[in-house]
Amino acid sequence: MDIALAITVGGLYAAGIYMMMRRSVVKLLIGLGLLSHAANLLIFTAGGIVRGRVPVVPNGQSQPITEIADPLPQALILTAIVISFAVLAFALVLIYRTYQTLGTDDLDQLKATDT
């Protein structure tokens, strides 16, 4: 399973990086979204994967009794999901406004600070 997930992560990274290198600013956003998923999945896989063992302490116990999924990467990813949503939303609005003001979606025409 490890290797399959690793390949998935690599594939998502490749797709994200490719899209981010496009000249179209809209594609850049799609690339950013793909890259966020890739990064989350990377942390998840790197933390070690266990099928089905939810990191919850059963009632009446003071500690988990069986092996459970590692809660730490999950906490990190939960934060990452939310933050990347904030970044994506901000980038989306920024690009939307840029396009409105400058009338182009071609990054090559957004090179200078003055228009």
Partner 1 sequence: MNFQPGTSLFLWLLAILVAAASATGVHRIFGPRGGWGLAFIPAGVVASMLRLWPSVVGMQAVTISFDWVPELNLALTLRLDGLSLLFALLITGIGALVLVYAGGYLKGDQRLGRLWAFLLLFMAAMLGLVLADNLLTLFIFWELTSITSYLLIGFNSDKPESRASALQALLVTGAGGLALLPGLLLLGVAGGSFEISSLLNDAESIRQHSLYVPMLVLILAGAFTKSAQFPFHFWLPNAMAAPTPVSAYLHSATMVKAGVYLIARMHPILGGTNEWFWMIASVGAITMIVGGLLALRAADLKQILAYATISVLGTLTMLLGIGTEATVTAALAVLVAHAFYKGGLFMVAGGIDHAVHQRDIRKLGGLRSAMPATFSAACLAGLSMIGMLPTFGFVAKEVWYESIGDASQRPFLAASVLSNICLVAAVGLVCVTPFFGRRTETTREAMENNLATWAPPMFAGIVGLLLGLLPTRISELLSAAGHGVVGHAVPVKLALWHGVNVTLLLSLLTLAGGFTLYWQRHRMEAWFSGVDRLAQFGPAQWYHRLLTGVIELARGLTAILQNGYLRFYLLTMVGLTVFSVWMALGSELQSRLHPVSLDLRVHEILLIGLILAAAVVAVRATTWLLAVGALGVVGYGVAGIFVMFGAPDLAMTQFVIETLTVVLFVLAFSRLPDFRRLSSAATRVRDAVIAVVAGATITALLLFAMTVRSDHPISDYYSAHSVAEAHGRNLVNVILVDFRALDTLGEITVLSIAAIGVYSLLKLRASKEGSVDDKTTADPPATSARHTEGM
Site string for partner 1, 12-31 (x = CB under 8 A): xxxx-xxxxxxxx-xxxxx-
First-to-final CA distance of the chain: 52
35 binds partner 1 (CB under 8 A): no
Instruction: Give Cα 46 distance to the centre of its chain.
Output: 15
CB of 51 to partner 1, least distance (A): 6
CB of 95 to partner 1, least distance (A): 8
Q: How many residues bind partner 1 (CB under 8 A)?
A: 91
Restricting to residues 46-105, which ones interact with partner 1 according to CB under 8 A?
46, 48-59, 61-64, 68-72, 74-75, 77-79, 81-83, 85-90, 92-97, 99-103, 105
Q: Across the strands, what pairs with 109?
A: none
- 115 vs 110: CA distance, rounded Å: 8
Residue 24 phi, psi (nearest 5) = -75, 130
CB of 61 to partner 1, least distance (A): 7
